[in-house]
Amino acid sequence: MKITDTAIPDVKLIEPKKFGDSRGFFSEIYNLATFEKAGIILNGVQDNHSLSGPKGTVRGLHFQRPPHAQAKLVRVTRGSVLDVAVDIRHGSPTFGRHVAVELSAEKWNQLFIPVGFAHGFCTLEPDVEFLYKVDSYYAPDHDRGLQWDDPALGIDWPVKRAGAEMSGKDKEHPPLSDLPEYFNYEREG
C-alpha cells in the first residue's frame, strides 16, 4: 500500500495494491498498523455506501462538529469523482485551502480526510458508488456543511451550480466567511 502526502500533508492519498489472476483480484484497503505508521489515525466505527445516479451530482461539503467530529477514509468502487477536502481548522497554515483528487474504481485509490476538514465530491460519470469509513458515528445534531462553490475556496469543480444535482440542504450551507469556528488548529511539539 502506497501512502503519500497531498498539498495539505494531513490529507493522505492511499493507493492499495491489487493482486489479480484469472479468478479476479484481492486488495487490502485498510490496515490499522500501516495507517498509523503513515500518521493516519482512523479507528473506523461506521462504514457508509452511497450511489449517485447522474453525472454532476455534488455531495457536500460536509463535516460533523465536535464532539462528534469525523475523520474519513473514502474511495470509489464504481465510476469516478472529483473528491475535495477543505481545511476549516482556524489557525491552520492551510486554513481555507483544499485538496482535490480524482478518485476512481479504475485507479483504486483512496483519500484520508482528518478531523477539521469539510469533505465533498462531484461525480464525473453516472452511477457512481462511493464508500466512507468514519471514526465517529453519524450524529444528525452535529451535521454541518460548507458552501461547495464558495468562490473564496477556489475549487475548480467540473460542474456549475445550475447544472449540479444536489440536495436542498447542500444548496444552503454557508460560505467559509460565515462558518463558525468549529475547529482550532493545534500544532504538536
For the annotated catalytic residues, the residue numbers are 62, 132
In total, the chain counts a number of residues equal to 189
DSSP for the chain reads: -EEEE-SSTTSEEEE---EEETTEEE-----HHHHHHTT------EEEEEEE-STTBEEEEEEE-TTS---EEEEEEESEEEEEEEE-EET-TTTT-EEEEEEETTTT-EEEE-TTEEEEEEESSSSEEEEEEESS---GGGEEE--TT-GGG----SS-GGG-B--HHHHTPPPGGG----EE-----
Our CA angle for 61, 63, 64, nearest 5°, is: 155
Question: Under a CB-based contact definition with an 8 Å cutoff, are residues 6 and 101 in contact?
Answer: yes
CA distance linking residue 106 with residue 15, whole number of Å: 11
